[in-house]
Amino acid sequence: MEGLLRRGRFGLALLAVGLVFLLPVNAGASSARWGLVYARVVEQSSGRYLMLRINEPAPAARVRVALIAGKHRVVKTVVRTIGTNRRVRVVRLAIPRKVRTVRIRVLRLIG
């Protein structure tokens, strides 16, 4: 029984080494991050606003922003089109004091 376990482990090790050599080197380019990479609620004396950065090959993206108050209640949901590959402010979005969470979803790419 012990010999079978050793042979089984040896077979799994060979399979793992074989997969390492067969897979392409750049299969999972971890440095390229696509999608939503940055979201901050910035507070100034003029009020609070949302800053986003979306990295995508398209020049613009449509996003849905949901403002969530305490007890997970959605206060407001808006859809905006923003530019990609740079940090941008979401325009025409007032964030009230009672909002505790902002939920963001990329709906589709434009361009």
pLDDT in tens, 3-51: 544 555 666 665 565 545 555 544 444 446 789 999 999 999 989 999 9
Beta bridge partners of 16: none
Look up the pTM and report it: 0.69
Q: Alpha carbon 91 to chain centroid distance?
A: 21
Tell me the mean pLDDT in the region 72-95.
96
Arch. (CATH architecture) of 35-110: Sandwich (2.60)
User: Among 7, 25, 5, 26, which Cα is nearest to 15's?
Assistant: 7
Query: Which is it for strands 87-89 and 99-110: parallel, antiparallel or unpaired?
Result: unpaired
**pLDDT tens, position by position, 50-69:** 999 999 999 999 999 999 99
DSSP percent split of the chain into helix, strand, coil, nearest 5? 20, 50, 30
d(CA 9, CA 32): 35
* pLDDT score of 3: 58
Q: pLDDT tier at 111 (50, 70, 90 boundaries)?
A: confident
